[in-house]
Amino acid sequence: AQTVTQSQPEMSVQEAETVTLSCTYDTSESDYYLFWYKQPPSRQMILVIRQEAYKQQNATENRFSVNFQKAAKSFSLKISDSQLGDAAMYFCAYRRGSNQFYFGTGTSLTVIP
């Protein structure tokens, strides 16, 4: 069964605008971690932002922020003031307590100049 679902295979955004990438997950645990990773074309996958489930406050890293809805099991990523360098595949990931990670199928983000 799919643990992490990203329902948007592709998204596009105008440069300087805001875009939101969706992610839902399935778990029966109360304590876990959620992540958004960015993978530019032919480049290394890097961490964008992480959220600890027991923290109610949404994580923020500069232009990147999340909307974490624990009850709804939703973890969306908002990118503000989009830049050309934001173009990449974005993966949502869930970490179980056993140190195993589960990834979504990714969202390909295009930034239009």
Q: x/- site string to other proteins, residues 41 to 70, per CB under 8 A? A: --xxxxx--x-x------------------
Residue 4 φ then ψ, to 5°:
-120, 130
Assign 86 to helix, strand or coil: helix
Q: Please report how close the Cβ of residue 28 comes to other proteins at its closest, in angstroms.
A: 18
Rounded Cα–Cα distance for residues 111 and 29 (Å): 36
The one segment of 12-20, 30-38, 55-63, 67-75 that binds other proteins by CB under 8 A? 30-38
Residue carrying structure tokens 């105008």:
14
The one segment of 19-27, 53-61, 63-71, 98-106 that binds other proteins by CB under 8 A? 98-106
How many residues at the interface with other proteins, by CB under 8 A?
A: 23
Within 10 angstroms of residue 45's Cβ, the number of other Cβ atoms is: 14
Residue number with CB closer to other proteins (2 or 18)? 2
3-state secondary structure 2-62: CCEECCCCEEEEECCCCEEECCEECCCCCCCEEEEEEECCCCCCEEEEEEECCCCCCCEEC
Q: Please report how close the Cβ of residue 18 comes to other proteins at its closest, in angstroms.
A: 25
Interface with other proteins (CB under 8 A): 4, 9, 33, 35, 37, 43-47, 50, 52, 91, 93, 95, 99-106
